[in-house]
Chains A and B, each alone.
Chain A
Amino acid sequence: MTVWKLAWLNFKNGFKNYLSLVISMAFTVLVFMNFQNLIYSEVFQVLGEHNREYIEVLVQVVSFVLACFMFFFTGYATSVFLTRRKKEIGTYVFMGLSNQKIGKLYSIETLFTGLTALGLGIGTGILTAGLFQMILVTLAGLTVEVHFFVSAKPVLVTTVIYLVIYLFFVLKGYANIARSSVLSMISAARQNEYVRQNRLILLVKAVFGCGILGMGYSLAVRRGGPEILGHAFEAVVLVTLGVYLLFGGLIPLCFQTLAENKRFLYQKERILWVNRVIFRMKKNYRTYAIVSVLILCSVTALAMGFAMRERYENIIQFEQVYTFQLLSSRDDLADQAERIIREYTDIQYQGEAPILTLDTSDIVTGDFYNHYAVLPYSAVRKLAGSVSLEWNIPEPGDDEIIRVSRLYLLSLLTDRSGRQVTIGGKVYRQTGETSEPYLGYLQEQVSFYMVSDREYERLRPLGQELYTFNYKISDPAAFQAVKERLGELVGDRDGEYTARVAIDPEKNDLDWVRVLYPFCIFMFLVFLMSSGSMMFMKVYNDAFEERERCRVMGRMGVEESVLGRAIAWELGMAYGLAFLVMAVSSWFSVRALANMMYADLTGVNVVSVLVVFVILLFCYGLSVAVYKRNSR
């Protein structure tokens, strides 16, 4: 029998063992290929060149993340299977096969698995390309007609990237087997030693783990200026390391301590599952840690998606609060402008307010803007009333100031309390911040500060006072005509200056942000599915190891229901602990994100954790059933 034929037979007979690996890999390939396909698809053409360019960059970023993930996941999956196969193929040593031949056998077998996953992924990817685009467009809330479209290039790119990654790990596996000693291969199955770990080492790991995790959490939610980007990076590293040490230190330490309390341990099947958890933790803690971190990433990705969508909608609402804004040195333009607009359409609402523009040399804030202006409290309150915007701001004191800011998609400035602003040599304490769009689009261009009316009067000689006239029209179709007519007012004549802002109610230059939301959902699904399959693969292999122990207990008269309950508890602990660590960590990561996105993401956090719970519950149920079947 040739090595190829033997490998094929092994692959065919053991296909069930590879199924979870094949499905997970195929799903990753499917998503990767579909993302690549978006670049060549016409679906985003209608959004215009500007949006298409942004989306292409986003797709490339997502593809890069997916490729990195594919690399990591392939490495993990092949190493799990290498360990398992090593035990089985080690027996070929007795048939006189050299290590190189055994390595070749493994490589060919693994290649069959990889190619099956690739074929399945590309095949389903092509079949679902239309559906994928449709889901994406629907989730993004775009009104685009989707046609079935698959280009050869994404298929080729996906195949090449996947094969390069896969072949790398196949060759790594080959080298591993070729270099293994015969003894290590044939004895791989009986390495059940060192069940319990050294308590002191566990204690050290636990202390470090808790400390590092605590530091990570505190860095994640720490507010500050631009340095929070560095904090966020440090938090990611620390939380990952902390979770790793938690599963490698604190959790086994707790279980070992519990197992030493025999009055706790000798409670029916508890004796079985607590001991099994201790035994498995030594071997599986890395997997549990990886799964926790992966799900944490997926929850954060989902929260990011939701936050982006909310942000996008708010920004659009912010920009669209007025259709036209006039900024003039004249204070008597209101009637003239209203008359022009009413020639074409009704006015939904309108309002006016003075602003005091300052020279950048007269103001020190810590921010870096080109334009600064001061607003009088009562005029802004009147404007808010005219356009029905929320108003719950108390009048600032003489040395107080309130920032009237814009909405940011993402901000690195998360600490805004107690800041100081110096205007004309006087220091004001910033007591609050509002991002209600009182001055609409102008708020995005100018850095506004609101002061008391008395302070405004005092500051007046410092800058130039201008007047804003703001209008929201009822009929968007009249936009162009009104814009042209209002253009007649614009100019710089006889020392009088007038400018106009016109926001097209149908403008879509931020549509690319909407695509982020479905992208994040897909990333969430990829991470979550992979985490589930990693746990499943581990459980699948563990169940085979448990077979002999279950046989012994069956002979001792231990009922299947008792074994079943012990299995349910053991796996419940594995899934439950990974979920718990993730849920706690996600509170910090989502909070950090919420600080940067100026959003309340608590609801998103709870919902995404619940979604993860439901999916993990499904994986858990499946794992318990498979474990019971395989361990019999």
Chain B
Amino acid sequence: MNENKIAEIRNLVKNYGVKGFQSRVLKGIDLTIFRNDFIAVMGPSGSGKTTLLNILSTLDKPTQGTVILDGQDITRISNRELSKLRRDKIGFIFQDYNLLDTMTLQDNIVLPLSLNGVSPGVCIQKAREMAELFGLGEHLGKYPYQLSGGQKQRGAACRALITDPEIIFADEPTGALDSKAGRELMECFRKVNESGRATILMVTHDPFCASYARDVCLLRDGLITCRLSRGGDRKEFYDRIMDMQASMGGDFS
């Protein structure tokens, strides 16, 4: 595997239902993710975005095809190894934040590191660094219920990034945020990506968010039908995404 390749997906197929009454959600996806990529996956409802994300993030198993992550075919490894992979190589950001309400923000951020047995000194130092990076330095001692949606999601991003994972999977990260908080989050994503700290694969239905990515893959009927690359200006990229959406039609919400 090329050193810069983080993930390689070949002929990925996923069926749901029982034999004879199956529906094919993914119909043979091929995708290669390189280090420092920031890919947004868009598509209409039912196009298979979340299914793809769940398989890539090892939460679901494909019916057919291979997913090579960190040099291992995740379709063939044991649950224990999958847990280890999730813990050490993957970071998750969920739509509904999924911060643990029993802990402070700092404890939430540190959790993956602490469970990995990293020394408390390193945990504390890294949590502060991440929090400063995401503008949360003042809020480390607060509980999730004391934070706004945007702060919670940035906290979740800190938690995802603190173990220096190979790749971050984000499932509709701005889905529950207002536009200002969404924009702030995307700025943070851009910043960590451009500084070389994170490779991100994000599923979103929002073209504005997608415009922060370097590449946008459009998923339709279980296949990647189009891939756009940003190049230079974000606004121009946003217009191109909108045009492509309009040409494809369908419900992207």
Give the B-binding residues of A (Cβ under 8 A). Answer: 192-193, 195-196, 259, 262-272, 275-276, 278-279, 549, 552-553, 555-560, 562
Q: With contacts defined as CB atoms under 8 Å apart, how many contacts are there between chain A and chain B in the complex?
A: 90
Chain B residue at minimum C-beta to C-beta distance from A260: B141
Q: How far is the CA of A275 from the CA of B114 in the complex (A)?
A: 13
Q: How far is the CA of A562 from the CA of B115 in the complex (A)?
A: 8
Partner of B102, one of A262, A263, A549, A560: A549
State which of B92, B101, B102 has its C-beta within 8 Å of the C-beta of A555. Answer: B92
Q: Is A271's CB under 8 angstroms from B103's CB?
A: yes
CA distance A556 to B160 in the complex (A): 9
Interface secondary structure of B, over-half rule: helix
CB pair A556–B87 under 8 Å, yes or no, is yes
Q: Which of B57, B80, B83, B106 has the most CB of A within 10 A?
A: B83
Cβ 8 A contact of A268, one of B107, B115, B124, B143: B115
Q: Which of B92, B103, B111, B115 gathers the greatest number of chain A CB atoms within 10 Å?
A: B115
Can you give 18 A-B contacts (C-beta < 8 A)?
A193-B145, A195-B143, A259-B107, A263-B120, A264-B120, A265-B107, A266-B113, A266-B123, A267-B120, A271-B111, A275-B100, A275-B103, A552-B100, A555-B92, A556-B112, A557-B83, A557-B84, A558-B87
Given A192-B101, A268-B114, A269-B115, A557 and B107 contact (CB-CB distance below 8 Å): no
Given A271-B115, A279-B102, A555-B59, answer yes or no on A263-B121 (Cβ-Cβ < 8 Å): yes
Whether, in the assembled complex, B148 has its beta carbon less than 8 Å from a beta carbon of chain A, the answer is: no
By a CB distance below 8 angstroms, the chain A residues around B110 are 262, 266, 271
Interface size of B by CB at 8 A reads 35
A559 vs B116: C-alpha distance in the bound complex, in angstroms?
Answer: 10
Given contacts A259-B107, A266-B124, A275-B102, 8 further A-B contacts (CB under 8 A): A195-B102, A196-B143, A266-B113, A275-B103, A552-B100, A555-B59, A555-B92, A556-B159
By beta carbon, the residue of chain A nearest B118 is A266
- Bitwise, B64-92 to A at CB < 8 A (1) or not (0) is 00000000000000001011111110101
**Residue numbers in B under 8 Å from A549 (CB-CB):** 100-102
CB distance from B165 to the nearest CB of A (A): 10
Shortest distance from the beta carbon of A109 to any chain B beta carbon, whole Å: 29
Known contacts: A193-B145, A557-B86. The answer to whether A276 contacts B107 by CB under 8 A is no
B98 at the interface (CB under 8 A from A): yes
From known contacts A262-B123, A278-B102, A558-B87, infer whether A192 and B107 are also in contact, taking CB-CB under 8 Å: no
Minimum CB distance partner of A280 in chain B: B102
Do A265 and B120 have beta carbons less than 8 Å apart? yes
**Chain B CB within 10 Å, residue with most, of A262, A270, A553:** A262
B102 touches A557 (CB 8 A): no
Indicate which residue in B90, B100, B103, B124 contacts A557 across the interface (CB closer than 8 Å): B90
> B17 on the interface (CB 8 Å rule)?
no
Most central of B82, B102, B111 by chain A CB within 10 Å: B102
In the assembled complex, how far is the CB of residue B99 from the closest CB belonging to chain A, in whole angstroms? 8
For A271, list chain B residues within 8 Å (CB): 103, 107, 110-111, 114-115
Q: Is B117 an interface position by the 8 A CB rule?
A: yes
How many angstroms from the CA of A107 to the CA of B114 in the assembled complex? 47
How far apart sit A559 and B124, CA to CA, in the bound complex (Å)?
23
Q: In the complex, what residue of chain B is closest to A552 when comparing beta carbons? A: B98
A262 in contact with B106 given A552-B98, A555-B59, A555-B92 (CB within 8 Å): yes
CB distance from A320 to the nearest CB of B (A): 65
Q: How far is the CA of A279 from the CA of B145 in the complex (A)?
A: 13
Contacts of A279 in B (CB 8 A): 102
